Amino acid sequence: MHFAPTKFDKAWLIKPERHEDERGFFARTWCQREFEEHGLDADLVQCNVSFNKTKGTVRGMHFQTAPHEEVKLVRCTRGRVFDVIVDVRPRSTTFGESFGAELSAENGVAIYVPAGFAHGFQTLEDDCELFYQISCEHHAESARGIHYADSEVRIDWPLPASIVSDKDTRLPTVRELICEPYEPPRCPGVPKKMEAVR
C-alpha cells in the first residue's frame, strides 16, 4: 500500500498496490502492521456501508465525542465521491480547516480519518457506495457534527447539494464547537448547545 500524507498530521490517503494480470488485479487494502508502522490506530472494530442513490447527495460532517471518538478508514467501492475531513480539535493550529479528495471505485484510494476530525462526502454520480472501517461502535449520545455549508470552514463542494438530511441541515457551525482542553484522542467536554444535536 502507498501512504500519502495530507495537510493534517495523522490523516492519510492510502492507495492499494495493484498486481494486475489478464484476469484483472489483486490488491491489499488493509494491513495492521503497515498501519502501526505509520503510527496509525490499527484497532478497527466495526465495518459499515453507505449507499447513496442520487448524484450531489451530501452526508456530513459527522464525528463522535469522548469516550467514543472514532478513527475511520473510508473507501469508495462503487461510483465516485468527494470526501472531506475537518479538524474539530479546538486547541489545534488547524482547527476548522478542511481537506478534500476524490475517492472512487476506479482509483481505489481510501482516506484515514483520525480522531478529532469530522467526516463527510458528496456523491459525484448516481449509485455510490462507501465502505467504512471504524475504531469504535456507533454511540448515539456521542454523535455530533458541523454544518456542511459552514461559511468559515469553506468546503468547496464540487456540485450543488441535491439531497441533505434534515438532521444534517440543523448541525451547528464550527464556531459553536467549544470543547474543554483537547488532548488527542480524548475531548472531555461538549457545549450545552450541542447536547441537543442528535
165-181 pLDDT tens trace? 999 999 999 888 754 33
- The enclosing domain of 76 has a CATH number of 2.60.120.10
Q: Which three cell numbers stand for residue 156?
A: 468547496
Query: What b-and-e string marks burial along 97-124, b requiring 16 or more CB atoms within 10 Å of the CB?
Result: bbbbbebbeeebbbbbbbbbbbbbbbbb
pLDDT above 70 (res 198): no
Active site residues: 62, 132
Query: Which range marks the domain in which residue 33 is found?
Result: 2-195
**Cβ–Cβ under 8 Å, residues 168 and 59:** yes
pLDDT at 178: 59
Instruction: Please give the torsion angle defined by the CA atoms of residues 114, 101, 13 and 58, in that order, rounded to the nearest 10 degrees.
Output: 40
* Tally of domains within the chain: 1
- Whole-angstrom distance, CA of residue 106 vs CA of residue 124: 13
- Whole-angstrom distance, CA of residue 142 vs CA of residue 98: 22
pLDDT above 80 (res 194): no
Tell me whether residue 68 is exposed, middle or buried, using C-beta atoms within 10 angstroms of its C-beta: 0 to 12, 13 to 18, 19 or more: middle
Q: Which three cell numbers stand for residue 114?
A: 483520525
pLDDT above 80 (res 196): no
pLDDT at 179: 47
pLDDT above 70 (res 183): no
96-139 pLDDT tens trace? 999 999 999 999 999 999 999 999 999 999 999 999 999 998 88
**Cβ–Cβ under 8 Å, residues 12 and 101:** no
Average pLDDT, the chain: 88
